[in-house]
Amino acid sequence: MELLRVVFKQYRWPFLGVMALSLLSAVLGIGLIAFINLKLIETTQGSLMVLPQFLGLLLLLMAVTLGSQLALTVLGHHFIYRLRGQFIKRNYSIPISNASSKSVMRNCLPAWAATSVTSHWRLCACRSWCRGLS
C-alpha cells in the first residue's frame, strides 16, 4: 500500500486516469457478458442485427483494455525511471571523505547490483570503494 501511496502522490492525475480506464474496462467486460447472455443465448429469434452490436462492443472493450494496459505500462516506466534517477542522484551526493566504509557499502551496492556489472562504475557514487571490489 505504501507503493500505491507514493505513486498516487507523485502521479496523481495519470494514476487516476489509469484507474478509471481499468474500471471502464471491467464494466465493459461485464456489460459484454450481459449482452451475450441477453441477446445471444436467451433470445430464440436469430437476427443478424445483433452481430454488428456484439462486434462493436467487443472492439470497444479491446480498445479500452489496450489503452488501460498501455497507460499502466507508461506510468510504471515513468515512475521507475524517476525513482532510479532520484536514487542515483542521492548516491552521487554522498561525500566520500565523510562516509564510513559501512555506510558507503550500504549506499553503493544497490546502485550497481541492480544493473549490469560492467556499468556499475558509472552508477556507483563511491568509485574508489567499488574499484576495490573488482
Q: From CA 105, how far away is CA 84, in angstroms rounded?
A: 18
% helix / strand / coil in the chain, to the nearest 5?
A: 80, 0, 20
Tell me the average pLDDT across 80-101: 77
Q: Is the pTM of this model over 0.85?
A: no
Burial of 42 (0-12, 13-18, 19+ CB in 10 A): exposed
Q: Per-residue DSSP letters for 72-83? A: HHHHHHHHHHHH
Q: Note the pLDDT tens digit of each residue in 6-41.
A: 888 889 999 999 999 999 999 999 999 999 998 888
